Structures are given as C-alpha cells and as structure tokens.
Structure 1
Amino acid sequence: MKQLLIVGLGGAIGSIARFLVSKLNLHWHFLSIPMGTLTVNVLGSLLIGFIAGVSARTEVISPSMRLFLMVGICGGFTTFSSFTNENLTLMQNGQFLSVLLYTGFSIFFGFLAVYLGYVASNL
C-alpha cells in the first residue's frame, strides 16, 4: 500500500507538471509540431536518465525515492521517459535488435492503435 501511495503522489505531481508544460502548445509553434508534448517527452527522458544514472552509481536516492521520482513523477509526466529508459537498458545489455524491434513496434503499433481508436470512436 505504501508503494501505491508513493507512486500515486508522484504521478499526480508529474501529471500536473505535464499539463502546465504542455500549455506551450498554445504559445510556441514550429512546423506544426506539438512543442509542449515534445518538450515533455525530452525533459522526462532527461530526468529519468539522470535519476537512473545517479541511482546506478550512488545510494543517494533510496528505493522509495526512486519509485516516487521515476515511476511516479516521470511516469505521470510522460511514459515516453520510461520507454527511452528501457531502450537505454537494452542497449547497455547489448540487445541492439531488441532496441530496434521495441522502438519500431512501439511506434508502428502506437500509431495503429491511435488510428483504430479514432476510427472506433466514429462508429
């Protein structure tokens, strides 16, 4: 139960932060790219990479704090950060084919799922 509360609190903070950062879409445009989402994805990836790196080299971040920061805040902020961190782990383990397949499948099936969900909403 403690872990659920830790993740839930972090997730709430991350979701609120994502909402605030995504407001950039309303004020900053570049080639019609959703800059708020792009910013969230890149910042989330940077943050989860930093936390993972510090956690791998030191014991400064406790397991509960790591859960709060990585799964809670970063997960609430963007699941893209988890995706990129998992790919980094695969690369560090020399599983390059898995990186290509995971990335390719995620993008392809993600687009397909969004499209099918959109189509289903119009039935």
Structure 2
Amino acid sequence: MRAIIFIWLGGGFGSVLRYLVQLGTSKLFTVTFPAGTFIVNISGCFVIGLLYGLATKYAALTMEWRLFLITGICGGYTTFSSFSYEGISLFRQENYTYFILYTVLSVVVGLLSTFYGMTVVK
C-alpha cells in the first residue's frame, strides 16, 4: 500500500508539472509543432535516465524514492520517458529483436492509434 501512495503522489505532481510546462510553452511558441509535448518527452527521458543512473551507480535512492520519482513523477510527467527507458533496457540486455520490435511498434502503433482515435471522434 505504501508503494501505491508514493506512486500516486508522484504521478499527481508529474501530471501537474506536465500541464504547466505545456501551458508555458504554448505561450512561447505559436507554431504547429507540438513544442510543449516535445519538451516534456525529451526532458522526461533525460530525468528518468539521470535518476536511473543515480539509483544504480551510487545506490542513492531507496525503493520509495524510486517509486515516487521514477514511476510516479516521470510516469505522470510523460510516458515517453518510460518507453525510452524500457527500450534502452532491452538494448543493454542485448535483446535486439525485442528492442527493434518494441521501438518500431510503439511509434507506429502509437501514431496509428492516435490517428484512429481522432477519426472516431469526427
């Protein structure tokens, strides 16, 4: 139950942070390119990589802090960071078939699913 509470608190914080970054970015950039989402996704990847590196190299984070920061905040902030982390994990494990399959399918099916969801609403 403690784990769920840590994830829940981090997820709420990450989601609010994502909203604020996207809101601020939309006021700075008036182009069609989804700059807010791009910034959130890329920064989320950097943060999850940084936290994972700290956790493994220095054993700097307890399980509760990992759940709060990585699963909660990064998960709430962006699921793209989790996608990136999982892909790199497959690559580092030399599981190249699943790495390629996961990466390609996630991007292609994600885009197709978004497109399909948008067309269903029309």
Pairs within 5 Å for 1:4-23: 4-23=4-23
1:15–1:73 Cα contact (<8 Å) kept: yes
Which one is further off, 106-115 or 74-83?
106-115
Aligned-pair Cα RMSD in Å: 1.2
Q: Residue 83 of structure 1 corresponds to which residue in structure 2?
A: 83
Task: Map 1:30-49; keep pairs closer than 5 Å.
Answer: 32-49=32-49
Q: Show the counterpart of 2:3.
A: 3
**Whole-angstrom distance in 2 between the partners of 1:83 and 1:103:** 8
Counting aligned pairs with the same residue, the percent is 35
Displacement over 4 Å in runs of 4+: none
- Structure 2 unaligned spans of 5+: none
Instruction: Deviation per CA, 1:22-55: give whole Å up to 9, x if none.
Output: 120232245x311111000011000000111111
TM-score normalized by structure 1? 0.92
Aligned to 1:95: 95
Q: Tell whether the 8 Å contact from 1:74 to 1:81 is kept in structure 2 after alignment.
A: yes
- CA offset at residue 111 of structure 1? 1.4
How many residue pairs are counted as aligned between the two chains?
A: 121
Alpha-carbon separation, structure 1, partners of 2:20 and 2:46: 18
- Counterpart of 1:93, as a letter, is Q
Aligned to 2:27: 26
